Amino acid sequence: MDSQLLPVLLLLGALGPWGQGQGPEGSSEELLEEPPEEVPREDGILVLSRHNLGLALREHPALLVEFYAPWCAHCKALAPKYHKAATLLAAASIPATLAKVDGPAEPELAEEFGVTEYPTLKFFRDGNRTHPEEYTGPREAEGITEWLRRRVGPSATRLEDEAGVQALVGAHDVVVIGFFQDLQDEDVATFLALAQDALDMTFGLTDQPQLFQKFDLTNDTVVLLKKFDEGRADFPVDKKRGLDLVNLSRFLVTHSMHLVTEFNSQTHPKIFAARILNHLLLFVNQTLAPHRELLTGFGEAAPPFRGQVLFVVVDVAADNDHVLRYFGLKAEAAPTLRLVNIETAKKYAPVDGEPVTAASVAAFCRAVLTGHVQPYLLSQEVPPDWDRRPVKTLVSKNFEQVAFDETKNVFVKFYAPWCAHCREMAPAWEALAEKYKDHADIVIAELDATANELEGLAVPGFPTLKYFPAGPGRKVIEYKGTRDLETLSKFLDHGGELPTEPTEEPGAPVPESPANSTAGSKEEL
């Protein structure tokens, strides 16, 4: 063989047939492509691809990467905030860098990092490509900046003297100070880890004996200082078990909130994050002076229930119609109280006509907590024409007598007026009712589950279809088939069962079954 041809043949062998195979070191593209000299930027944000991600990780030890899609509305909304965060990081000299990846254009990277939705943000530290940290902070510029600041620097300020404490406390509404006699103790690591994510509070720590004395402390303690309500709350560190992260987190959320919180778009995330199961709501019209005067007594009743009951004010004159509907109220009912347990969804109401005073509010809370008040269920009034149409109208007050009539087979659609899936299947449901309207033993009905509650009957999503067959035993069968007239009819004709499709002859190919169309309801709740 001609020695001059050998390098050429070796190269062709490495490329494989048609020049497209892979050699031992990867594809020809990887072999021949020059490594990037630098990573491009747009508005201060690195633009990453599969070719330059490695370089970016080597050059930037603290890298937050947004995986986005150009068509994603949430990504478009985040874009100016992300750009502002890059500006804030640079202005504050925080050693962290922002980057972005077009997920659909870089499917290899999206797959490598398990990206299934957009936007997804991941934090890479010290070039570690295999274990990025999920971004858990808020999606606004200041929150992104603070989240990163607490990861690349200390999450708590070291306090050496009283002047440092006063400066920290004076600059913030809520300050959490960890008093630890030994700053190398593992409890300090627990404290600092919590401080990384509690972005709505400012953290400090100290081991100085004079500061222990100033705050009348002899043992390790976490102290929350605030410019409202009682001003201070202490969380002693258990000497045997150490600092419990879950209990400390719950303590800080509970005591960092005002005794009385007004419900609005800014406060509602924190209200539900507080992990206090009982919420007492005072519905008032804040434009009316007599209603505003009730807030004093409401607040006076709150301190003994701190941690047990969250006191919330709902202004019926603001955009809170959804809250009123949840409790079955109209704005004209204000002022009034309602208590809800957010775990059981049970709702409680005081005696009608009782004035809202500190004493009456406290008495109502105690009565609910001790089981002396029965929960109420939402129910509309029974319409006078509820049974005149082919589809019968059910509410809480007539549901029992209709659904559990032992002489009838009752098929009920539980729906929400705003649910797109419910609207989509409405024609098939109407057609079903029309088809069986002359069957004396079959009832096709519907119930608005957002305005009517039923004891012991779960409605996990909309629409939910349940079949109540005739006979004793109060049997309930949940329908899980497709929502077309033909399949619904087969279900009824076979007594609440879908007939089994005939099997194919041996050796015949088995067709792929159609996807079940009943999924996807919960996300509309």
Residues annotated catalytic, as ranges: 72, 75, 419, 422
| 8-state DSSP, 438 | T
Whether residues 126 and 202 share a domain: the answer is no
Cα(393)–Cα(118) distance, rounded to whole angstroms? 41
In this structure, is residue 525 part of a structural domain? no
Cα(203)–Cα(142) distance, rounded to whole angstroms? 17
In this structure, is residue 199 part of a structural domain? yes
Angle, helix 485-493 to helix 420-435, in steps of 10 degrees: 50
Whether residues 192 and 138 share a domain: the answer is no
In this structure, is residue 67 part of a structural domain? yes
In this structure, is residue 521 part of a structural domain? no
Angle, helix 186-197 to helix 141-152, in steps of 10 degrees: 160
pLDDT of residue 325: 86
H or E segment at 73?
helix 73-91
Helix (H, G, I), strand (E, B) or coil at 300: helix
pLDDT of residue 271: 86
pTM: 0.65
Q: Tokens in use for 152?
A: 């690349």
Nearest Cα neighbor of 287 from 251, 334, 231 is: 334
Q: Give the count of domains, the chain.
A: 4
In this structure, is residue 325 part of a structural domain? yes
pLDDT of residue 418: 86
Q: Tokens in use for 157?
A: 């300020």
Whether residues 75 and 148 share a domain: the answer is yes
Q: Decide which of 255, 290, 324 is a domain's last residue.
A: 255
Q: Decide which of 137, 152, 167 is a domain's last residue.
A: 152
Whether residues 110 and 170 share a domain: the answer is no
Whether residues 226 and 293 share a domain: the answer is no
Q: For residue 387, count CB atoms less than 10 angstroms from its CB and return exposed for 0-12, middle for 13-18, buried for 19 or more.
A: middle
> The domain spanning residue 124 has which CATH number?
3.40.30.10
Whether residues 224 and 164 share a domain: the answer is yes
Whether residues 137 and 202 share a domain: the answer is no
Q: Which domain holds residue 92?
A: 41-152
Count the residues in the chain. 525
Whether residues 412 and 340 share a domain: the answer is no
pLDDT of residue 234: 97
Gyration radius (Cα) of the chain, Å: 32
Q: Tokens in use for 273?
A: 């994050």
H or E segment at 294?
helix 294-300
Whether residues 106 and 54 share a domain: the answer is yes
Whether residues 278 and 299 share a domain: the answer is yes
Whether residues 264 and 356 share a domain: the answer is yes
pLDDT of residue 501: 64
> What DSSP line would sit under 387-407, residue for residue?
TTSSEEEE-HHHHHHHHT-TT
In whole angstroms, how far apart are CA 112 and each of 53, 100, 118, 183, 199?
12, 15, 15, 39, 30
pLDDT of residue 18: 28
Question: Which string of b and e fits 178-214 if b means at least 16 CB within 10 Å?
Answer: bbbeeeebebbebbbebbbebbebbbbbbbbeebbee
Q: Decide which of 94, 127, 152 is a domain's last residue.
A: 152
Per-residue pLDDT of the chain (525 residues; tens, 9 = 90+): 444 443 333 333 333 332 333 333 343 344 445 556 789 999 999 999 999 999 999 999 999 999 999 999 999 999 999 999 999 999 999 999 999 999 999 999 999 999 999 999 999 999 999 999 999 999 999 999 999 999 998 999 999 999 999 999 999 999 999 999 999 999 999 999 999 998 889 999 999 999 999 999 999 999 999 999 999 999 999 999 999 999 999 899 889 989 999 999 888 888 887 788 999 999 999 999 999 999 999 999 999 999 899 999 999 999 898 899 889 899 999 999 999 998 888 999 998 778 999 999 999 999 999 999 999 988 899 999 999 999 999 999 999 999 999 999 999 999 999 899 999 999 999 999 999 999 999 999 999 998 999 988 888 889 999 999 999 989 999 999 999 999 999 999 999 998 876 544 444 343 333 333 333 333 333
In this structure, is residue 7 part of a structural domain? no
In this structure, is residue 245 part of a structural domain? yes
pLDDT of residue 500: 77
In this structure, is residue 510 part of a structural domain? no
Amino acid at 505: E
414, 449 Cβ separation under 8 angstroms: yes
Whether residues 144 and 162 share a domain: the answer is no
